Structure 1
């Protein structure tokens, strides 16, 4: 069994019930705000409440949840299950689960107990550290109580500059600005620094986040964009990809990355507004029905948006070295990451170490990397080897922790060994669900309860199902062979030899 709401945003199979007879339990109607306690700064909601509804209801009561993901279409239970986050090294940090003070979760039980047991967890219960990032394997979350604070305003300014000193500058930037956030464009050798801090509530401004990627778009335009990218890949047109990336980045810069000063227009930095209006976005969720003339870019009815999302957090002590390794690869292959820049580059956010058993183990920077994925699983990508090497550098050379709701199979090989409190989590899982009713093959694999998630077969490295060890794991008939990495020699990647 698995709990889900409207749809799953998870790339791995977290929300898939096992076998052919599995059950999906809908939390779609668990969508109420249960209580808002202004005096004690607590807010209790049901698990199916969307982030956007949560922060806007808090705002109506003069309150704010300081950290959320950028996309407000996630449910409360879903974002907690996967460890979703905003960005901050200040206070409790960027992870949303750090602001959870209590939870109610329904778990399987014996016949004498009525087959279901409601467990209420508070900050005094150690088991809350298991439930805050649960992967959905403990049962069905029904209610969550967050610690909130009085509403505040933020001021946002983007500054774009060279990435020459990015490795050294990154840590300082995160410590100087409470909601610091970056977009790094490696092929352009520059980064957009989001200077994002609290300001006095009486500062004028009614700014709004309307992120470009979350807006409805004409379906015909999306079809053209996907068709162009597929053509660039098929013809190995790296120059064309770079020109497309340059144009997309200019568009983002001139449109202030979707921020407006008054909800309609961008008139200049800083953009000042209430936290709930700037922290998250998702306008295409509320777009009108127009016979699919416009849709969310990832609308599955069109199957246009199709990409990999490699996301891992690297400890602050290793981020400079990781960035320098990526920059070395760019020097060797200057056009290799234009395809990543087409997807808004590397998105960098800050997260603090957590007490959650499956939360981040150290103060870290999260690297979120989107890139082209073919609909043919046996079709290699342009600069396949560079992207695979970056993935392996982050995950294995520097011990990066993969985001639970993103990534390809290889990211989770042996991952549970990176968590010092993994045995405590598994112990709670066995106590709450001894029969494994809320587990599936995938969760057992990543928790180390059965063989890992590697799938060895012809072409398996192309989709990240394996790390290549033989040429057949790549695409030898298309001149892609298994080779060592260029910078990280221990890596094994699918390299084109034309």
Structure 2
């Protein structure tokens, strides 16, 4: 097939893949499955794979639908000294946060704890149960003329999950973009003495210092039952995406974040381009009924997803970086020409600005809510199909150091621009703004948060094309520039020594010991994060660096039999990367 014809075919495939949301979709499957009744269970995440690809088992699972049932479940487990972890309906955390210790633990699913408890319109406060999804939360608030000012961009997260991992949107205005900054109360079910019935409800308000521990909890204090949010009057947003050269991005990024309340940037480094999202608040009376239906979160054809994945695998196998560049250039052009999923009238993108109500503009995820169609379409990463499979690095670098970091990434890019094309197939580098937090495990400083998504091999022993480049960026961020990791994303190495980066970690550990002194809600993974019981997050074994389980210190940590050896970084020379 001639190159021109091939490009037209690929372009058509991408258009169909990304515009297939007008059909129906198969929502994601369950993340907790038990072999007999509610015993002998396996828990996973929405991607079907944890960072180390381990299988997480539990002796039992429960699905409480009221606080009373939740209290009884915790009490029964505490009485038996059974370890507990909590999982949401869709379980979008990549690390092993939902895994109980060993295979004798209890999984508590919050999926049926999804009700509005109360709304006080005069104080603009709303209390909801912890399993409520983000979509239901913001739409329920909208029914009362209220808005959650900030949220993650993905609708498939729960209230408890957002607080467990410190989820956020993008803003340097006011209290910033972290959801937990708008939490004014939490009801927490925690272990108790025999005299108290083995479990009790701890009520935390703004007057309780422990609220700052519970706001970003990692699930180690207890089970969040209910959360009270301080909301705002409903407002509208105006979004215009501006496509520019990435010239001087390192010196203009913070200024841009201070000019627009909901600003973010998406960087396509191999194309030397960046999309500046000019995103501001408007009066409720402003004209416009737009919707954010982000392309990557729309239902997508499973057949074409499989074809797209196979095409990328072929380019990986043949070290065809130029082929990835062709695909990424077409894909970025397609996304931009369709407004990246923004719609002016709930049906079509007709041009900028796109103006709409906050609850319709702040997040997206239509692949979650479409009707079942037998997996003809699905969310792109659904493990039931041969679709996307990826690593995701989420790091926050202080605004005082972001210029240096981006300059270093540019130097690395300029050595071989082709090496960055692969990440542009996964929407480039998304850069959002997050303010310093009141939470003990929240952001220490005003920061720029970067989401970098990139190809992951189905075989953990197979190195990736340009493996060294992505590893150097990852290590550069976390080790040279002291980045804080997103608790719900990242590979193991990102969490190495992480608790030492938090100035109030001792206050968090004191709260943990206060509410769960026996570690009923702790696991091997959370103990590793908190550096308890001599646990470590990194794993040293042959090939461990390929999946980010370690930083290589010898060739065997890479894939020497396939020509990948442990070598120094090219810009950040302290990095140790697998280079082929």
TM over 0.5: yes
Q: Does 1:40 align with 2:112?
A: no
RMSD, aligned CA? 0.7
CA distance in 2 between partners of 1:202 and 1:169 (Å): 32
Which runs of structure 2 are paired with 1:333-348 in the superposition (5 Å)? 333-348=416-431
Which runs of structure 2 are paired with 1:293-304 in the superposition (5 Å)? 293-304=376-387
Q: CA deviation at 1:117?
A: 1.1
What are the Cα deviations for residues 94-132 of structure 1, in whole angstroms up to 9, with x where unaligned?
100000000000001111110001000001100000000
CA contact under 8 A between 2:309 and 2:386: conserved in structure 1?
no
CA distance in 2 between partners of 1:396 and 1:10 (Å): 23
CA distance in 2 between partners of 1:194 and 1:170 (Å): 11
CA contact under 8 A between 2:130 and 2:158: conserved in structure 1?
yes
CA distance in 1 between partners of 2:451 and 2:369 (Å): 26
Q: Does 1:485 align with 2:573?
A: no
What are the Cα deviations for residues 138-178 of structure 1, in whole angstroms up to 9, with x where unaligned?
11000000000100011000001011110001000000000
1:174 to 246, 252, 257: 257
CA distance in 2 between partners of 1:303 and 1:35 (Å): 43
Which runs of structure 2 are paired with 1:106-117 in the superposition (5 Å)? 106-117=189-200
Structure 2 residue aligned with 1:83: 166
CA distance in 1 between partners of 2:438 and 2:531 (Å): 21
Q: Does 1:306 align with 2:389?
A: yes
CA distance in 2 between partners of 1:129 and 1:447 (Å): 17
Structure 1 residue aligned with 2:556: 472
Structure 2 residue aligned with 1:328: 411
Structure 1 residue aligned with 2:497: 414
CA contact under 8 A between 2:264 and 2:431: conserved in structure 1?
yes
Aligned residue-pair number: 496
Per the alignment, in what secondary structure is the counterpart of residue 273 of structure 1?
strand
CA contact under 8 A between 2:97 and 2:526: conserved in structure 1?
yes
Per the alignment, in what secondary structure is the counterpart of residue 337 of structure 1?
helix
CA contact under 8 A between 2:89 and 2:158: conserved in structure 1?
no
1:370 to 453, 475, 487: 453
What are the Cα deviations for residues 300-346 of structure 1, in whole angstroms up to 9, with x where unaligned?
21252210001100000011111010100111111111000110000
Q: Does 1:158 align with 2:241?
A: yes
The TM-score, its normalising length taken from structure 1, stands at: 0.99
Structure 2 residue aligned with 1:455: 539
What are the Cα deviations for residues 174-233 of structure 1, in whole angstroms up to 9, with x where unaligned?
000000011111111110000000112221100000011111111101100110111010
What are the Cα deviations for residues 391-449 of structure 1, in whole angstroms up to 9, with x where unaligned?
00100100000000000000011000000000111111111111111110000001111
Per the alignment, in what secondary structure is the counterpart of residue 489 of structure 1?
coil
CA contact under 8 A between 2:90 and 2:157: conserved in structure 1?
no
CA contact under 8 A between 2:113 and 2:130: conserved in structure 1?
yes
CA distance in 2 between partners of 1:69 and 1:334 (Å): 30
Q: Does 1:209 align with 2:292?
A: yes
Which runs of structure 2 are paired with 1:180-329 in the superposition (5 Å)? 180-329=263-412
CA distance in 2 between partners of 1:391 and 1:163 (Å): 20
The TM-score, its normalising length taken from structure 2, stands at: 0.85
CA distance in 2 between partners of 1:488 and 1:27 (Å): 43
Structure 1 residue aligned with 2:465: 382
CA contact under 8 A between 2:390 and 2:454: conserved in structure 1?
yes
Per the alignment, in what secondary structure is the counterpart of residue 317 of structure 1?
coil
1:352 to 435, 447, 465: 435
CA distance in 2 between partners of 1:138 and 1:305 (Å): 34
Q: Which runs of 5+ in 2 are unaligned?
A: 1-83
Q: Which runs of 5+ in 1 are unaligned?
A: none
